[in-house]
Structure 1
Amino acid sequence: MILHNGLRLDANLKWLFTELPFEERFDAAAAAGFTAVEYASPYPFPAATLTRRLADAGLSQILINSPTGEPGSPERLGHACLPGRTAEFRAGVELGLEYAVALGSSFLHLPAGIRPDDVSRDRAFAQYVANVAWAAERARGTGVRLLLEAQNKQDAPGFVLDDQAHAAAVADAIGEDHVSLLFDVYHASIDEKDVLAALREFLPRTAHVQIADSPGRAEPGTGIVPWPDVFVTLESEGYEGWIGCEYGPAAGTEAGLSWVKEQIR
């Protein structure tokens, strides 16, 4: 969905059009005006099936995540910071890159993970940095950029990245040729004192943006985030990437899309 002011919205099919089976969401997104999609986990489906769905609907794939553990498990937000789980992390990156290349996905997000209670913060963080550095080297030449995302501590207690600055420090240490930030406005609105100031500060390192309102994680306009200012900031700062709609519609996906005209000047 390309807007009049140059901002580009893509549909996150994990969150939007959930009224339909997953494989039918591609056509629904295209019918609603989206030209690109993202979703965390393509892995339940053969890559060829998803590639065909994308082509039939005329959609581009923007982002997928590397594999994580099952919902409710200690690994639900990734293996990257878990000592002793390097083999699983690397296998997940290999699979993620395989799918990303097959789908033409621009980005592979590496979920950082939750630090186990019996592992020190420093040890978990060191493991995370080492794993991201390995993944960056492995991704060289694939055309896929790796993304790092800070998640808020209300929803993800123990998440190994403290905030946007923490994620940016990792990206800077590894090198901008390989790794960029995923700036999630929902998470930042909870953890950062000033979400607009954080957006302006870290946008130069950001390759992808995701949006949802806070509290509630529904569509923009349902919470307290100053959305018109967010979009003005993205435009004025020259952001040219995609904006992933990663929210749970309050009352149905298509009805909820009215926010676009209401919140973007």
Structure 2
Amino acid sequence: MIIQTSGGELRLAANLKWMYTELPFEARFDAAAAAGFTGVEFASPYDLPATRVRELLDNAGVIQALINTPGGPAGSSTVMGAAYVPGAGDVFRHGVERALHYADVLGNPIVHVMAGLRPVDAEPELAFATYVANIAWAADQARSAGVRLVLEAINKREQPQYGLASMETAAAVAEAVDPDTVGVLFDVYHAQTDRGNIIERFERLTPLIKHVQIADNPGRGEPGTGEIAYERVLARIAASGYSGWVGCEYGPVGGTDEGLNWIERITR
């Protein structure tokens, strides 16, 4: 779905984990396409065979814009990823290989490498060094596969133990490892919740931003249901020259299609 802002055009992708939850998962692809979306994203395709996900994409006529690396079982040290967890190298590498396999089958260009939770008994310096080494290894694999990786910081209010400290840290790691292959996932909701100053931070990080996600705050609903000035934020993102996808990673306050009226309200 292409929308027009005062700063230019943006491409929206429906996040099928958060949107159309009133429908069974496999029905969400067609629902997104019927609403005008040409791209979709969701964190974890791994409950279905890659070939089945590709079939759902093709039948709906939509593109897979983003997937995450797998998380570990509930309650495990790698539930939110293994990159930041010392001693979990085998789990991390297997997850990256699995994600790249799915990316290949789905024609998915970008994989979000989840950092994971820093174990409470791990030395911060060791955990960070582990993370950088893991991202460097993943970049080598992704480069060969023609896939780009993105790194996302989750706000510390909701995930105080999440390894990646900030979007600025994500940018520094990407720059150090390989900025052509590794970039930043700029999540507006997490940016506002964590430090605010959204527009200035976006413009500072623009050269490294390879994917954007949006939701309002508080509540994580669609734009226009909280306090973020999305009319200005989206216009500035478009004016920056950013040409990637903008993932709608929000939980609709009401029905999903009904909630899409935010687009007319904010972009008119």
TM-score range for the pair, normalised by the shorter chain length? over 0.9
Listed as ranges, the gaps of 5+ residues in structure 1 are none
Q: Does 1:208 align with 2:211?
A: yes
Counterpart mapping for 1:1-265 below 5 A: 1-4=1-4, 5-265=8-268
1:178-231 CA-to-partner distances (Å, cap 9, x unmatched) read 101100000000112411111111122101100011111111111111101111
1:48-74 CA-to-partner distances (Å, cap 9, x unmatched) read 111111111110111000000234544
Q: Distance in 1 between matches of 2:71 and 2:242?
A: 29
Listed as ranges, the gaps of 5+ residues in structure 2 are none
Q: Distance in 1 between matches of 2:95 and 2:77?
A: 16
In the TM superposition, structure 1's runs of 4+ consecutive aligned residues that sit over 3 Å from their partners are 70-74
Deviation at 1:109, TM superposition (A): 0.5
Q: Distance in 1 between matches of 2:82 and 2:198?
A: 28
**Number of equivalenced pairs:** 265
SS of the aligned residue for 1:114 comes to coil
Q: Distance in 2 between matches of 1:70 and 1:197?
A: 37
Task: Report if aligned partners of 1:192, 1:198 keep a CA contact under 8 Å in 2.
Answer: no
Q: Give the TM-score normalised by structure 2.
A: 0.96
Q: Label 1:95 to 1:52 Cα distance change in 2 as closer, same or farther (>3 A).
A: same
Q: Distance in 1 between matches of 2:220 and 2:77?
A: 22
% identical aligned pairs = 52
Q: Distance in 1 between matches of 2:215 and 2:73?
A: 23
SS of the aligned residue for 1:140 comes to helix
Which amino acid in 2 is paired with 1:175?
D
SS of the aligned residue for 2:9 comes to coil
SS of the aligned residue for 1:134 comes to helix
SS of the aligned residue for 1:64 comes to strand
